[in-house]
Structure 1
């Protein structure tokens, strides 16, 4: 009995010691906790935030402006008392912290803009720097309290944090945390996902926490985390609400059998999970997807937390993990990674975000497994500083683009200055001659554009005085004219948002409606801006969107196009308020877009490769005539003695030619592949990539080709087209789409051949659903096709039916037809 009592006492003492160790949590070597603007210390859990005056010796600017909020904020994941006071800076000020331990340090900065006397903290404009990193380039006020969290390596014996107010403004901060991190927390590097994945070193980069989620829809307070982190509940980030299930079993977590510690994530994270809901259907095959808002133009470190806490006995399961449409890992077997259930495991990858402001993460069951399931316990998303050593979206331009932009602006400034001086000296002598030249140039431009009206900025906004324009580009509009046309870029006039920037509806003074595309600092860049203007200035075609002008004043990048009444093809296919299109309309739109692309490929000595063909870049006018748009990524085709152009891969994911993606060899057939994707979008009424769908349906091309080859194409047709498509028309359409999506470019048809087969599919459809607005155009094309058929018949080529024409190359024929339409 004595031995039993001693054993019991020993267990009791050990338990108490364990609890004491656990309560102590992590004890950082460097640890600065400052309640800014406060004159008293504040206890938050087991930590004490020291009053501001205690650390006043750390500040380069000891001038004190303390502010007090009239009331505590309504809600915050962190202790509300830390937001009640603030220190205000009227000039650039530096905190200099002594560093005892080199390595990664965390900086948490607390912000809550309240009103104090003459200071409305919501109006503060300032930047924040740490060492050589830009943490915040321009503070953006938020109504609710926020904590911004950054980490970076400190290799010296001090860490300098700088608050720099804008002129005639001020900076503020409510509280600060600066402390050293456990060595195991942030990896020295990670692998990027994608076809050309490589290892990226993180040692010289700063990180900013964008999202930190606890799955199972349960938030975790900083008081329950050894590193005082807040883990948000994942429910509001889920894309669906019918395929997932929340699970909790914190007791099942076992840190003792693995290498992961609670510093990586607490048991309250590993002990909860969001899993695939298989209760109603044990063979459910769907992905659980989370969506996040992020800043484009940056790399992101994404950390996945896993722990198998499924009830036992449960079958062994395998699942896939995705970021966007890219597989992070397939057939993930947690038991193989951890050797036992309940053992935590985490995985780090890096992904690049370009164009879109959305990042989606998915988990779903692997194919052909006996027990489909998937789970995720926690997720962290951290932005990685760019080559400018910045974490701010205002610095997301690439150095190369910025350098090019600076050179161009300086060149333009010098050139304009020289022109101004020469014009001032020679004005009186050359007045008549300049007037004659201007008149003659206007006549040449009118002739070049075949009588189309060209709206010069001078004709509307400068009392008839021509505005400087180059021989390559269109017409330059003054920025004030564009402001006027768009009601100072009113948000109510936004037509859409793309990688380059926002597109606004505008009305010029002569009542001409236009579309105004305004580039942003995180857009594709000045080279794309120049390319688009140059391309559109060279070509005029009824199926290419027309350029009206541009503006490059005040570092702006603005392009003005003809207004397209019915938006984009994508708008009418899925995900918008626009009405659906009939099958005949869809065919005619495909034919129009194919004509535009065929003209690009054959209308000049060198082919022009669009490089970004997608449904969002096919616009529809008031009569639903299709026009190809967005030439910012276009590229001149190969020389006569070359088969391709070697260039970096650019375009939109889901539409990229796999041959171009792998070999970086661009040809006209790359556009043909992308057009094939668009054709299946048109047929199925869904996007090219949709991670919310079951795994086999995520990629439209894979799914559609599988159905096409099985002879089951009618099963994936847009339900809104039910009963509209004739069998022969569908077969012809599916056959040519399949050929467009051949793995190798040499096996794909030309755009001329695609166009011919689409015309054939339209004829096979007959007159059902014919729309009056384009009936004459279709009849005109059909007449030409019939004439050509007769000529080929005379040449003893057997054509028993239109369906037998698919093997005949029509590139030259349609090139001639396109030129005739230009006359």
Structure 2
């Protein structure tokens, strides 16, 4: 019987040719307004099938890539690929820093965004080791893409259907965990806006965590697109360049089915499916359920397909139907189920078509939450108890994941597109004319300035800097090493005693001054054994950090810029300028810098115990911090941030607050580090600074991302994320976890909103956290993570709240309502000597003080106004 069915179901050659002709004739029907086909990393345009992918540096799109490289696969890497795939995947653009492609959108609305990936090895780049995130301005498309995690290294196309309302679409690639990102090709193609949302069954509903699901307006990711009962359909045979796979790999169950085909013209009806919804070949082929006599197994009464999906995610399932098996209307009545949910019942296609047959039709079903098993089952069968023939048919199946959360999007600002070609001559003429005029003027100014310098300036006695902008130059004089010099070839130096704080012959004295000093490169080579890789204690966006020992046995951390880093001279200068004028017990001290031989090197005080992150979940389980130590570290870091926000006329906004930038010294005192992204805040009569978004993924203030308006409250948000890290001891984003747990902020706020924060506390400290302290701590976290900056507390209030949490943790029986007790609050106010010292400083103008008397310890920590406000507004906190 099975052989008879196979023979009867085989498609004739004429039928296949007929269907293909129908499909090819319709494939040219739609012309997209936006049709960007980008061959990434290629220097020439690349034909792929009937389409042409242009080089990414051709000017068609704007490529913003502070750190990228064009790479090419060897012929052996793409051996065995068909011609189209070989052309698509033979080149790639590799990113070592966050980078973006920017597309001008002429037709706002629905667009397909397709990202093509194929990992290969090119010189020093192994694309299989990549780990990265991809986002647009409005949604995270891919979070934690890792080709190495896949079972087989094959080309991958990730397809998304987005509603683009902006005039520019920016697709940003962000390397994760110090790895790289890459992409072989990018497609951005506009599609009809009614491609999703016209079916009544795709109505808005809620998933298991209460999110409203409306596929008509939400980002979608294609998971499966199946030509049921037919052959694989290539992109060239689809009006929207979609690929359709055969359903054979997914077909399960005991039911008897046969492939069917239709060689006549399909009946496209007004208001029903079109060639844009699915190509004609999908509707002209299908799988029919065959009902055998004397059925005893209910499983034989319905066709079944099983597909792997992400656990507990939300999906849009689209069923494509075309009754190509009935001879008369009214015979075909079908039911369909998705897992245990009823997708539809008693579906009568002929009734929908008013007696017509062979017309394309689709219906959508929203699955709010998939099974925890990661398996999705689809069933289609007859709805009638008295089984008739034909029993059931299915022509196509699409499964699209609904991206229910935008996550923390990252946007890299593109540079402005260049002038149009038709104005090139005019532009070039203006440029060259202006350049000639400016050159003549500059030459005259330089000549006059040199003449004045010869007359007025003495001959310098100090070494010349390699960059003109460096501050504090002329304060160090170099001399050849004497007999007592330590280390062969090392250079000794002295600090000019005519400069502030310069009365010492050793570089370690720089730590007791608010200034930073320029070190010779040879001294740093000596301190780090010529930058021995065995001395590397960390690595970040700027470069590697080495443990070093100066000639006077002072331990230092030496951060050396990586020439290929996304951070460079701007961050180098910012770090020096910021830390040269700031000093606080809870800020890492800058000892000096070096800019010789085109190097950019920074020297800091050595932090014995590394980063807070490393003690939470960074591989230092043996040195895990107690709850009290974590609280103390958070209070210290908050004090350091408060000092940044209040010590100068303009607040200093750190912009990269995260657990890896909070370091611990030998006494576990927390200090804020890494000021390369720091920026001066707004003037007193302004509310914000408008600037490009910078920061670390997972920590960046979402309001800052949306508006590009930077305030001190952006640091407060990032610090709120750190507070959650300290409590839960897990990464901010962990794609290995089940979907609701991936984002720590969403996960933490979810449980805090249910008064269940204790359920996600780090197990190693869970038994030591007092309920009252946890309650106040959770309230502080929620306020820091408010979506609007105006709703977040100032850092002075955060310091106060954390000190209060510490008291609630230390004092047995103390409750949140005891905040009004002056016996407790007086311990949080600055001591009298700090206030007196501040007054004395303003009179004497002293800048150098002993560590014990530092304003950093107390006075900069508290605002009496803030403390009073919290004393009388207990319920407001």
TM-score for the superposition, normalised by structure 2: 0.47
Q: Which has the larger radius of gyration?
A: 2
- TM-score normalised over the length of structure 1: 0.50
